[in-house]
Copies of this chain bind each other. A is one copy, B any other.
Amino acid sequence: MQKINLDKAYRLLNHGPTILVSSSFNGKQNIMAVAWNMPLDFDPPKICVVIDKNTYTRELIEASGTFAINVPCVAQVSLVTKLGSSSGRELNGTDKFAENQLETFAAKHIAAPLLAGCVAWLECKIISEPHNQNTFDLFIAEVVAAYADERVFSDGRWHFEGHDQEEYDKLRTIHHVAGGAFFATGVAIQANI
């Protein structure tokens, strides 16, 4: 895991991966899958995510003003689908982390836990926009720290090729279509212009 310069943080999301949003407030924590996300600005980096009003995550991120983006990989598709199709609110006395025996590590600037096994992480502070939040479920946030697994992201670029290709293929980021159907991030192509 390496720290990513903030002016390159947008590149972690520029190719449109599905993400996990983790949150924490007042001793409670949660994590959910979010396909609807995008970069919004370069430096300082801002991002957008869509978080439905009915979600437990919504409650925790509005209360704390912060959340973490975790960028999951092919090895985690079943976990991502599970985390995206159940509510942490319904787990009495436990949470999705304990229920799924998830390993986490601490963020530096926010309370939300970061999920081990992902390939990138962005610590985010919400820029309060009540109209966007209430009308569109749209959250705008500033990225205050970013990290990536240096096996697959370094010098500002994703690279999913390696000596043991089968292992690297499990580290590819993922793109949700619907109903647990994903695409892995595929072959690299360089344009000729």
- Residue positions of A touching B, CB distance < 8 A: 11, 14-18, 35-41, 46, 48, 50, 74, 77-78, 80-82, 85, 131-132, 136, 138, 140, 156-158, 172, 174-178, 180-193
Contacts and interface: CB of A to CB of B under 8 A. Distances in A.
8 contacts: A14-B35, A16-B17, A36-B40, A81-B191, A181-B190, A182-B190, A182-B191, A183-B185
B157 A178 contact: yes
A180 B190 contact: yes
Contact of A177 (B15, B35, B131, B183): B15
Contacts of A37: 38
Which 6 pairs between the two chains have the least Cβ-Cβ distance? A16-B16, A186-B186, A15-B175, A81-B191, A180-B191, A184-B186
Contacts of A78: 191-193
Contact of A15 (B40, B41, B183): B183
A158 B182 CA distance: 10
A189 B187 CA distance: 15
A38 B15 CA distance: 11
Contact of A140 (B77, B136, B158, B184): B136
